[in-house]
Each structure stands twice: as C-alpha cells, then as structure tokens.
Structure 1
Amino acid sequence: MNLPTMRVLITCPLPGIAGDRLAASGVDVIQLGDSTVDDASERGLLADVDGIVCTLTDRIDARVLDAAPRLSAIATVSVGRDHIDTETAARREIDVVTTPGALDDATADLAVLLLLSSCRRSTEAEADLRAGRWHGWGVDQYLGLDLMDATLGVVGWGRIGRAVGRRAEAFGMHVLHHSRRPTGEQGFVADLDDLLVLSDAVSLHVPATPETHHLIDARRLDLLGPSAVLVNTARGSIVDEAALAEALHARRLFAAGIDVFEHEPEVHPRLLSAPGVTILPHIGSATIRTRSRMAEMAVDGLLASLGVAVPSPADSRHADRNTLQERDRP
C-alpha cells in the first residue's frame, strides 16, 4: 500500500534553489501566497499539512498548531524562533528547525555599517545633502567619532558577536564583551553595567527572551553617556525604544544604529524623528547568498525531520519549476 504523500506549506516565496529542492523531493507543496497563516488555519488549509516553512513574521501559535493535527515539523528561515510556540510544539513532538550560522557574517557586516554610520553621522549628512541644506565644506561640519582606539562593548559573545568583534579590531578598536557565562577570554566583563560604562560604543547580540526584554533601558542608556553609540541588530525587544528615543532627543546619547524593532513593522514615532539615529528595516541577513542559504537550510532541515530524502543539487536544478508559484528569483 502506498503511503500518503507528504504535504508542506510555504508561507512565502523561497529565494535561490530552496523551492526547487523542495519540489524535487516529491512532497506536495502548498504556496500560501497573499494569505496569512491565521487565514490558512481558519480555512482549514492546515488540516493535512505535515510540514511548514515559515519566516519570523509568521506567528505560529497554539491556535495555528491546533489547526494542523498532522504537523510534525516546522522550519523557520531565521535563527530566532520566538515567533513559534515552542512549548506547544515540544508537547506535540513537532520538530522546530532554524538556520544557525547562515547569517552570521551578513549580520556582523551590517552591525559594523550601523556603527560606522552612527559614529560618522553619515545618515544626517546625506539627508542634508539630498535636501539641499549643504552649502559647502566647513571645518566644524558633521564632526563624528573615531573608531581607532575606541572601545566597543559586545553584549552577547556568540557567533555574531565574535564576528563583530573581529571586524571592530580590524578598525583598531579595543573590544570588550559580556555574556551570561564567563568566557575565559581576554576582554570579558562579568557585569553588564560595567561594560556599558567602559565602552564608547555597544553592539547588541543576544536573543529575545524574558530576561533580555528591555535589557537596555533608560538607566543603562544613561550609563553609556552622551558620547556613546548603541547598535542593535539582534531583537527589537532588547531595547526600550521610548527610552532610546528620549535619550537621543535629549542628547544623552551621541547616536544609535537600529535594524530591529519591538513591534515590527511599527517603529516608535519618537525614534523616527530622533537626531543621530540610523534606522534600517530589519535587513541584517538581506544578501542574496545569505537568504538563499537560509532558505536551503530550512528546507533541508524540514525534509530531514519528515524523513524525506534531501535531493542533490543536480536534482534541484532539474526540478519542475512550475510546481511552486510566485517564486522569488534574485
């Protein structure tokens, strides 16, 4: 007797060859299109789904999981999984697959971009240039901060934090780091408050957990001081956005570079109007190679969890490209 074909729901078009790899595996693919996961659950589209490929914008909560009784694996095209009810998934013995390591370099590069932009006031200078407010070179214009011999404090000494540290050292910065557990490495600072006081700039690289919610609040922003820079490419909830906006408006902080927000896609209005802030729309992993690799890792991990053979690259290239609709080809 033939076993029923596995069915996999994709919540968005997949970049690179990830979609082809999924099609070549022989599973039935359901492309969500413009609908949301909530819509799919209400319409009963999850009733016979064995796997889901999602992103961090898809809220996979208990209600969604209850609508998918056959579900045995979820793959998210992200490192974080705070958008998934992992407790319910674990209770249901549903595997949750993430993409660790794939975005380390791209995110570290962006953190350094934000650090440079914040220190050198490039966002402010470009805005003035575009608006016709620049009337020629002046000796006291757009004076920023040097990276050479400055101290960078890295909060979270995982793969991305270390990658940022290596890049900062190449600019001649002194690098300190803080993590929950002692690292035994040079530059470790056990107390976060001490790290903030010692640093000219701070880059955040910790996950979103109850313990890290508003880890950087008004009190800790004041520890940084008016000549310091804050960079966040980790999770928006780590920083109290209202307190950050107030510190920038009051000039109690020199500048900030922010790529993530607590209530995406909403951004605190006072942060949008704050001086000295460079803000980006969560593009830390947004390179062609990185996003393609993340999608491939998610698909391969999902297929492995479902017990489906992962196709070779050659099989993927010759897969029927009509199987998936609305493909995103970079």
Structure 2
Amino acid sequence: MNSKRWIAIIAATALIVVSIGINSLSYIFTRDFSSFWNNFNDPYMITEYVMEEGRGNERIAVLTLDGVIQDVPSSLFASSGYDHQFFLNQLDAIYEDPTVKGVVLIVNSPGGGVMESSDIYDAIRAIQAEKEIPFYVAMGGMAASGGYYVSAPAEKIFVHPETITGSIGVIMESVNYAKLAEKYGIDFNTIKTGPYKDIMSGTREMTEEERAMLQEMINDSYERFVDIVAEGRHMSIEDVKKVADGRIMNGRQAIEAGLADETGKPGDAIAAMKEDFGLENASVFEYGTSDSLGSLFGVKIDGLFGRNVETELIGKLLSDYNAPRMMYLYGEK
C-alpha cells in the first residue's frame, strides 16, 4: 500500500472521529442535559414530532410499521428496522393520551411472527373499543400476511394500486439436512425425554403423526386470521376463505375482493380522517425515539463503516438460528 493511500485512510478516519465528536457535543449542548442522562439507558422512550399544526386538544397520530414484524433485541450495533417494543409503546401512548382523536397507520410489511402480529392487533382493538379512537390504514409497497392482519381492524384501508397485499395464511418451515449430513458422514446424537421433543428437527425426517400435530396448530392460527379479517372487513367467513388461500394481490384486486376500501396515499388517509370525523383543525404528529446513545452518535455503527455481503450473511445466519415457529409472513423470513 503506497503512502498516498495511507494518508487517505488516516484522513478519512480522522474525519469520522471529528464528525462524531462535533455531532455529540452539539447534541448534548442543545438539549436538556439532565433529561438526556435520565433517558440515556432507555431506548424505548418516545417523543413527538408535529407534522401539521392545529388544535392541541384534537390530534391525529401517524404511526409507521415498516419491516418484518419480529420481536428482536435492539442495539446501537444493529441495523435500523422495525422495533416491536417501540411500536407497542407508541400504541400504549395513544391509549393513554386523551388528546388523540384518530390514528393513521402506515403499513409497509410482509408480515412476521404470529405472536407479534397478535400483540399489535390486540392493542389496536383495545384503543378502538375502549377509547373509541378510529384507525385508518395506508398501505405502502407491501402489506401482506401479518401486515394485513394488523390492518384488518381499521375503519378504512387505503392502498396504492400496486400495493402487494393479501397472503392470508400461516406458514411454519424448517430445513431438513439429514441426507446432506449422511453424505458427509456426519452423525447426530440426540437424547430426549419424549418422541416429539425434537419435532421439526433438521436431522431426521418428520413423521406423519408429527406433521398432523403441527398442521392442527397451523389451522388454529389460520382460523383466527380468517375471523379477524371477517370481523374487520364485515365479510362472511365463506367470502374471506375464497381469498384466504395464501394468494397475494395488488391494490386494485384487494378493493375488488373487499379487503381494502380505496386507493390513496398516507396524505389521503389523513385528509379523509379529518373530514370523516370532523377533525379539520386537528394537529397531526408522529412519534420518534428520545435522547439515547444511538441519537447521541447520530448514526448506527453500520452506517459509519458500511455494510458488506459477509456481515449481512453472518447476521442472517445468527438471526435465523432459532426454533421453527409459526409466521404470518409472505416471502423469505
């Protein structure tokens, strides 16, 4: 490596260090110092950002659900993405806020875990039933499977004509590598307390009895999904099941099938909510993260040093190293 390249590397490193230092000092001195340190260790503290000025006692909250709906740990060193606990905290804040008169939920998700999707659905229904706060949904490029599950209870659903939605169903999968292991002379020694303890293990073939047991679980979650769609969309179980076979559809097809109401973007959903509920003078706001270590440095670590194929592959392998579970998910998890 020649001297010019070394100089360039040193200069770039120095620039990063100086940038972080300036950003950090600026951040600290422009905020309440005691408040910063009080919130320093809580990544789930939320704050508000006004999108449209209006009455403070009549407000519309805008929530964004973007990414796979999974409850995975959040950290400074992780890539940005959907944060399940933070999203639930936003719903809790709405439940406790008497000034919120409506919610517009922007959904851009292929779905995710059965349990996490149910968490969101239950919180939305509690807000609707107990606080009488309406929800409108504006679907982005994708609101499929679990993304549709959490959208179903909305009073009105807006779609883009090319939104990918539907995929009503449940999936549970694992990889069987027993034959591959046998080819390379790899043996697995399993000690278990019952015949089903290693059900869906990748080291052996699944029995028909085991498959039937898992199918019963899947069917139970599927029926709940169908019930939720039928209730939210005011459809019969029979009509829902006509399209609840896992198929995906675009926004236009979703409207024809009764799974959405009209085409529109988030701005259209906000405008419609104002008109439909007499909230023309309401202020519109969204939630954001509070002062924390991540906001102190301004960027995530992967934003500083870039990403490459190797680190993404390692991250995927680590995140996928868990037991098979039921998913309301379209596409690769």
TM over 0.5: no
- Indicate the structure with greater strand content: 2
- Indicate the structure with greater helix content: 2
Structure number with the bigger relative contact order (C-alpha 8 A, sep ≥ 6) is 2
Q: Which has the larger radius of gyration?
A: 2
TM-score normalized with structure 1 length: 0.27
